[in-house]
Amino acid sequence: EGLGRHDQALAFAQSYTSRWPDDLQGWALQAQAASSAGRQTLAHWATAERYQRAGALNASLEQLVLARKANDADFTVMSMIDARLVSLRKEIQFEKSASKQSKPLKEGI
């Protein structure tokens, strides 16, 4: 019975974040609900989404790696996490190259 409640809370949180994806508290709620339901992959993924939306790209990447290692989700979810890892790594690389290009030149050069 208790697990059913956790699954219901997780379903509610997933519905909430799909409707309001920029609500950081919604992602925190989803991570907590997933953890309580024993779904560590989903908990790490939700935390990763929260960090990404807050601009903490490296922390988000770390959470996605942890989600991948937890490996307690089905093939579809794991494939989605793999795709998210690829896109986030590209985003981080883009941010790094953009910050290098925006640095002012030293005087005298």
What is the token pair recorded at 6?
Answer: 């956790």
The answer to whether residue 10 sits within a structural domain is yes
pTM (2 d.p.): 0.86
Helices (H), 1-109: 2-19, 24-36, 40-53, 57-70, 75-101
Number of domains into which the chain is organized: 1
Decide if 24 contacts 53 (C-beta within 8 A).
yes
In a domain, 43, yes or no: yes
Taking only the tens place, the pLDDT of each residue in 19-77 is: 999 999 999 999 999 999 999 999 999 999 999 999 999 999 999 999 999 999 999 99
The parent domain of residue 36 ranges over 2-101
Residue 31 placed within a domain = yes
pLDDT given at position 107:
61
Q: Is the per-residue pLDDT at 2 higher than 60?
A: no
Average pLDDT over residues 70-93: 96
Assigned domain for 63 exists = yes
In a domain, 19, yes or no: yes
Q: Which residue has the higher pLDDT, 82 or 102?
A: 82
Asked if 73 and 39 touch (Cβ cutoff 8 Å), the reply is: yes
Q: Which amino acid is at 2?
A: G
Q: Is 108 among the domain residues?
A: no
Q: Judge whether 23 and 17 are in contact, CB under 8 Å.
A: yes
The CATH number covering residue 80 comes to 1.25.40
